Amino acid sequence: MKIGTTVGIMVPRKRQRKAVLRTYNKYNNLDISLACFIPEDINWKKKKILALCMDKGVIKERVISFPQAVYNCCYLNQRKTIERMERIIGKNKTFNYLNRLNKWEVYRILESTHLRRFLPHTCIYKREQLQKTFDKHKLVYLKPCLGHHGNGVFRLELLNENLRISEDSLPPRYIWRLDDKQLAGKVERLLKGKQYIVQSGISMTLFNDKYFDLRALVQKNEQGDWDITSIVSRLAYKQYYNTSVYEEVHITEVIMHSLFPPDESIKIMKTIQDVSIQAAAELEKGIGLMAEVSVDYGLDINGALWIIEMNGKPQKKIYNDVAGIGDRSAMYRRPLEYASYLAAQSTTSI
């Protein structure tokens, strides 16, 4: 085990520690030691942590002092734990305060900035306003505020006064009359009491007759600045709109060059880069210190970009399916570089 700076990686479950430690240690070419632990193994009274550490290539469980910086990989809210930890190691030494993002909160943060022009119209679902929604929009998506992986997302399209409701795939699971007096109750049963947003639909550009998204992975670098690590596109299966259930993953630039002339393709890619960095910075202002986020876009038939959602705990395994992506190490190395940067800063200089 190295002597000097220790970076902690906090995970939600004990059984995850070994795999996470191995993964990040593989890309640790810095002068730091890694320690992986769960919140329950923090001994606040003694200011010690039971953690897995790498010692000369062997994983060992040790009781360690508090690390100089902590990378929070817990999906559920750990704000109280982080605030308590920072009273010991110093403020702004733990990042990714909140990994499970609330879609409505994200929308409200971005809507109050110059990025609002990239946002589809969005509101909180209210039973009494359901039918009025279709006075303005013939296509909307209902999304759980705290959903993930596309679970519980419904596509509602109005055709000839019939509301066609789909889940994951385009063929409707339900077709109900818009003037059905029981409509609101039927829809509410689908939502199962959860809070939902209503997001206006977009006439999407297709690639090989498939829906696709454009995902920018934005991470902080060793100078503490936001930077683009990669931009990829997930292609849904034919007749599916949910790109979380994808058939293929491609480098977005390749798809853009297939769909648009070179000048337009370059312009779209530049916009994704600029807007993603700005969106990450604005979100961080609203929810607390972060070091990585993914920004998902849809591209409409006019070539305009729309921010569909942001993710505070980007799935890195999707990059294993990308042909031609080259070096995948940056997405794992950058959080360590940023943690090393934080560890070296005084608490008042960040």
Mean pLDDT by 10 residues, the chain (350 residues): 81 97 95 96 97 94 97 87 94 92 98 98 92 91 92 95 94 94 93 96 96 98 96 96 93 96 98 99 96 98 97 90 80 96 74
Same domain, 225 and 330: yes
- Tokens 């119209």 label which residue? 121
Residue 165 placed within a domain:
yes
Compute CA 120 distance to the chain's CA centroid, rounded to the nearest angstrom: 18
d(CA 7, CA 36) in angstroms, rounded, equals 9
d(CA 287, CA 32) in angstroms, rounded, equals 28
Residue 350 placed within a domain:
no
d(CA 8, CA 138) in angstroms, rounded, equals 49
Residue 287 placed within a domain:
yes
- Which residue type sits at 15? R
| Number of domains, the chain | 3
- 174-177/226-236 β-pairing: unpaired
Q: Is the Cα torsion angle 171, 175, 179, 182 positive or negative in sign?
A: negative
Residue 265 placed within a domain:
yes
Contact indicator for 217, 272 with CB cutoff of 8 Å? no
Residue 1: what pLDDT?
A: 47
d(CA 111, CA 226) in angstroms, rounded, equals 20
138: phi then psi, degrees, rounded to nearest 5 = -90, -10
Residue 282: what pLDDT?
A: 98
Residue 3: what pLDDT?
A: 55
Contact indicator for 232, 238 with CB cutoff of 8 Å? no
How many Å is the maximal CA-CA distance in the chain? 70
Contact indicator for 8, 82 with CB cutoff of 8 Å? no
Residue 347: what pLDDT?
A: 60
Coil vs helix vs strand at 166:
strand
CA 216 vs CA 29, 258, 282: distances in Å: 25, 19, 15
d(CA 74, CA 11) in angstroms, rounded, equals 5
d(CA 151, CA 167) in angstroms, rounded, equals 9
CATH at 273: 3.30.470.20
Full residue range of the structural domain in which residue 57 is found: 6-95
Same domain, 213 and 339: yes
d(CA 157, CA 19) in angstroms, rounded, equals 43
Residue 350: what pLDDT?
A: 47
Closest CA to 340 of 75, 77, 28, 32: 32
Contact indicator for 220, 338 with CB cutoff of 8 Å? yes
Residue 131: what pLDDT?
A: 83
Predicted structure pTM score: 0.94
Contact indicator for 194, 214 with CB cutoff of 8 Å? no
The contacts of residue 126 (CB under 8 Å, 6+ apart) are none
- Give buried/exposed letters for 129-157 (b at 16+ CB in 10 A, else e): ebeebbeebebbbbbbbebbebebbbbbb
Residue 66 placed within a domain:
yes
* DSSP 8-state secondary structure symbol assigned to residue 84: H
Same domain, 48 and 141: no
Same domain, 133 and 219: no
Residue 311 placed within a domain:
yes
Same domain, 143 and 77: no
Coil vs helix vs strand at 59:
strand
d(CA 82, CA 69) in angstroms, rounded, equals 11
Same domain, 209 and 164: no
Residue 349: what pLDDT?
A: 45
